[in-house]
Amino acid sequence: MASRIPAITLHNGGKMPSVGLGTFQGHDDEMRQVLNAALECGYRHIDTATVYKNEAEIGDVLHEWLSSGRVAREELFVVTKLPMTGNRSGDVGRCLQDSLDKLRLSYVDLYLIHSPVGMKANSKGVLDLETNHEEIYKAMEEQVDAGKAKAIGLSNFNSKQIERILKVCRIKPANLQVEVHVYHQQKALRELCRAFDIPVCAYCPLGAPHAAEGSDEYPILLQHPVVTSMAKRLGRTPAQVLLRFLIQNNLVVIPKSTNQKRVKENFNVFDFELSSEDVASLETLDRKGDGRVIDFKSLFEGIENHPEWPFGIPY
Ligand code: A2P
């Protein structure tokens, strides 16, 4: 069954389906079941990363679907990411090959530099202060030349870092993946990307409810009264409203769920539209920088001391 959902066309002609399956924290049989359910209901865009440690499970399921002819390789859009511990030009090829071996694929549709911050190889958080984006990106371009990545791009890079890559690149970044949701709309960064024709993919499009700390003033996004009342009026779920808002803003979304019912729910967002009034009312919920939920500083102690720490400037 071919996926018939809308897709964003990348500069290499690749079609990136507007909804993909986020897989962070999906593991073992649960990951296999969720991916099977997602493929059954029409997902064709799968987003993973070396650090998620689930490429092998994903590879097993994709292999079953591909070898049985239930899906053709050209229908899939598979994304994985260079880990922070591989942020050196000499490590890029090895890291991508390792991902491809686990995914049981000969190429990925998109390979992203996961973070502008580099860590020492095989370390759990020891900063590599020598990170050189220009050199890493050159090695990324070589992966396109070698046919191992159809497209390459960036994740968690700020505006200045993106502009530096644009100055030296031979193959333009095809995508930027960053945290975007109604509380953290990233308007300035999206505007920069629009000017350079770089599509943006929103991670944590539901506002990362597992990590967010709700307050009276700013409840968990899925429970915000503006979102819940809009969803009720439209006969939709809050998650569908939040995803639809981003899709109508030309973003690709990669909601993650380990629940098969919610995986399906998150895909069914193409048979309704938000009015311009509804879009405008969701726009007023933007908390700008304060709306960022994913706190890399708590994940990696001292990460803000890296010279390429991306979140020390407004965008
Ligand atoms: P679960 O795996 O139990 O479905 P984000 O992508 O913004 O980080 O959000 C992912 C989180 O949101 C996961 O914890 C997931 O939990 C939950 N989630 C995913 N889809 C939905 C949905 N449709 N409704 C409510 N919660 C959802």
DSSP strands (E only) in the chain: 7-9, 15-17, 21-22, 45-47, 77-82, 110-113, 152-155, 176-179, 200-203, 252-253
The lowest-confidence range among 1-15, 85-99, 140-154, 191-205 is 1-15
Tokens of 148: 């191992």
Distance, CA 49 to ligand 1 centroid (Å)? 18
Q: What is the pLDDT of residue 88?
A: 98
Claim: this prediction has a pTM higher than 0.85: yes
Protein residue closest via CA to atom 13 of ligand 1: 257
% of the chain beyond a pLDDT of 70: 99
Q: What is the rounded radius of gyration, in angstroms, for the C-alpha atoms of the chain?
A: 19
Q: List, as one string, the DSSP characters of 83-128.
A: -GGG-SHHHHHHHHHHHHHHHT-S-BSEEEE--S--B-TT-SS-B-
Q: Which long-range contacts (CB under 8 A, 24 or more apart) does 161-169 make?
A: 161/116, 161/133, 161/308, 161/310, 162/192, 162/193, 162/196, 162/198, 163/192, 164/133, 164/134, 165/133, 165/134, 165/137, 166/196, 168/134, 168/137, 168/138, 169/137, 169/141
Statement: residue 68 has pLDDT above 60: yes
% of the chain beyond a pLDDT of 90: 94
pLDDT tens-digit profile of 266-293? 999 999 999 999 999 999 999 999 999 9
Statement: residue 236 has pLDDT above 50: yes
Split at pLDDT 50, 70, 90, the class of 212 is confident
Q: Is 25 in the pocket of ligand 1 (CB under 6 A)?
A: no
Distance, CA 266 to ligand 1 centroid (Å)? 9
User: How far apart, in whole angstroms, are the C-alpha atoms of residue 49 and residue 136?
Assistant: 17
Superfamily assignment of 8-291 in CATH?
NADP-dependent oxidoreductase domain (3.20.20.100)
Q: Which of 33, 262, 294 to mutate to test the pocket of ligand 1 (most atoms within 8 A of CB)?
A: 262
First-to-last C-alpha distance (Å) of the chain: 40
Residues 6+ apart with CB under 8 A from 295: 211
pLDDT tens-digit profile of 241-259? 999 999 999 999 999 999 9
Q: Which atom of ligand 1 is nearest to the CA of 205?
A: 7
DSSP annotation of 10? P
Split at pLDDT 50, 70, 90, the class of 181 is very high
The mean of the pLDDT values for the chain is: 96
Which residues lie across from 274 on neighbouring strands? Answer: none
Statement: residue 209 has pLDDT above 80: yes
Q: Is 207 in the pocket of ligand 1 (CB under 6 A)?
A: yes
Distance, CA 246 to ligand 1 centroid (Å)? 16
Distance, CA 179 to ligand 1 centroid (Å)? 15
Split at pLDDT 50, 70, 90, the class of 3 is low
Domain ranges of the chain: 8-291
**Position 6, amino acid:** P
Protein residue closest via CA to atom 9 of ligand 1: 208
Statement: residue 26 has pLDDT above 90: no
Q: Which long-range contacts (CB under 8 A, 24 or more apart) does 67-71 make?
A: 70/1, 70/39, 71/1, 71/39, 71/44
Q: Is 240 in the pocket of ligand 1 (CB under 6 A)?
A: no
Q: Which of 259, 267, 269 to mutate to test the pocket of ligand 1 (most atoms within 8 A of CB)?
A: 259
Statement: residue 1 has pLDDT above 50: no
Pairing of strands 15-17, 77-82: unpaired
Q: Which of 47, 185, 252, 256 to mutate to test the pocket of ligand 1 (most atoms within 8 A of CB)?
A: 256
Could you count the other beta carbons within 10 Å of the beta carbon of residue 305?
A: 10
Q: Catalytic residue numbers?
A: 52
Q: Is 266 in the pocket of ligand 1 (CB under 6 A)?
A: yes
Where does residue 302 fall: left (phi above 0), alpha (psi -120 to 50 degrees), or beta otherwise? left
Q: Which atom of ligand 1 is nearest to the CA of 203?
A: 6
Protein residue closest via CA to atom 19 of ligand 1: 257
Split at pLDDT 50, 70, 90, the class of 4 is confident
Q: Taking each helix axis from N to C terminus, what angle separates 225-234 and 238-248, rounded to the nearest 10 degrees?
A: 90
User: How far apart, in whole angstroms, are the C-alpha atoms of residue 160 and residue 309?
Assistant: 11
Protein residue closest via CA to atom 24 of ligand 1: 239
pLDDT tens-digit profile of 80-127? 999 999 999 999 999 999 999 999 999 999 999 999 999 999 888 899
Answer for the pair 77, 15: CB distance below 8 angstroms, yes or no. yes
Tokens of 292: 């960022």
